[in-house]
Amino acid sequence: MNSRLFHLHTLSALHCGTGQSVGVVDLPIARARATQLPIVPGSSLRGVLRNELEGTDGALAQALFGPRAITGNEQSFAGALAVGDAHLLVLPVRALAGILCYATAPFILQRYARDLHAAGLQAPSVPKPRDDKRALVVPKSANLMDNDTLVLEDLDLTGQGDGPTRQWAELIAAMIHPTDVDAQADFVNRFAILPDNILGFLAETATELRTRISIDEKTGTVKKGALWFEEHLPAETLLWGVYALSESRMPGQTRTVDDLKQALHKQLGDGEHLLQLGGQAGVGRGLVRLLAAEVPA
């Protein structure tokens, strides 16, 4: 198996749910059991990718994902593409100065660095804020107040700068905006590394909650009991995951890993493709950029 990285950049609110209510939230988003950080299940991405590829290259889709239906053992084979869960990398958080802050944490960056190394890419050292009242930002960050205070939601932190923080900001910006220099500069200027517990708190409280209702067609009023709350990852959230390719196992077909990789990237627009993930497509939710091309660090 040949492991590689992919990234997701949400362009609209994204709801990949669990189907189970939690407290006042009727439809929460999927989260990792141990960390409670948001995820996009690999099965969701795999299913959407299969649907996209079947419309353009059915033979490639079958080689990557396996047969749709199996009528006998001779037609059974495993697909060549394995897709892991996408994990939270950067959470956009409302900021008093600069409107929006791209926030992450040392715990997240350590896991991300591990996957970067596994994919053959380099990663900077992971810096840590000195205490729970400080955050690491680039000098003259757009999110800093005049007294170097970083105000996120209702949290006040002292913003400080260091070298590795800029290195991480530039690395992630190049991954997400490989050809847009202005977008890279804007990302770097709004990037912050928060203490782990602060980011964990924001990952539970700074997501979007939207109220939905259902209208009775006959009366034109709200149906009785048809009120619910949906949780979403906000637009501009960044996630990353790992996918792996093996040689095609499709009977009668010989396709190498490199052949499948080139064909997949061609179908995805040379490593970047727009997808609709999760629910609520009819109301404009779940539009994401899938980035499968890797930028050397």
Decide if 226 is inside a domain: no
The mean pLDDT value for 257-266 works out to 84
The mean pLDDT value for 115-143 works out to 94
- pLDDT for residue 72: 64
- Look at residues 206, 226, 248 and tell me which one is the last residue of a structural domain: 206
Same domain, 170 and 270: no
Decide if 225 is inside a domain: no
Between 120 and 254, residue with greater pLDDT: 120
Angle at 288 (CA atoms; ends 64, 233), nearest 5 degrees? 120
Same domain, 202 and 95: yes
Rounded mean pLDDT of the chain?
Answer: 88
Band of pLDDT at residue 297, cut at 50, 70 and 90: very low
Residue 121 makes CB contacts below 8 A (sequence gap 6+) with 5, 294, 296, 297
Same domain, 245 and 167: no
Residue with tokens 């709004």: 190
The mean pLDDT value for 245-264 works out to 84
Same domain, 288 and 185: no
Structural domain boundaries, residue 255? 1-16+42-84+234-297
Burial class of residue 135, CB neighbours in 10 A (0-12, 13-18, 19+): buried
Cα–Cα dist 112/118, whole Å: 10
Decide if 228 is inside a domain: no
Q: Is 0.75 surpassed by the pTM of this model?
A: yes
Same domain, 239 and 141: no
- pLDDT for residue 282: 73
The phi, psi pair for 180, rounded to 5°, reads -115, 100
The phi, psi pair for 260, rounded to 5°, reads -65, -40
Same domain, 239 and 132: no
Residue with tokens 């495993």: 78
Q: Where are the beta strands (DSSP E) in 18-142?
A: 39-40, 81-83, 86-94, 100-104, 134-137
Domains of the chain: total: 2
Helix (H, G, I), strand (E, B) or coil at 257: helix
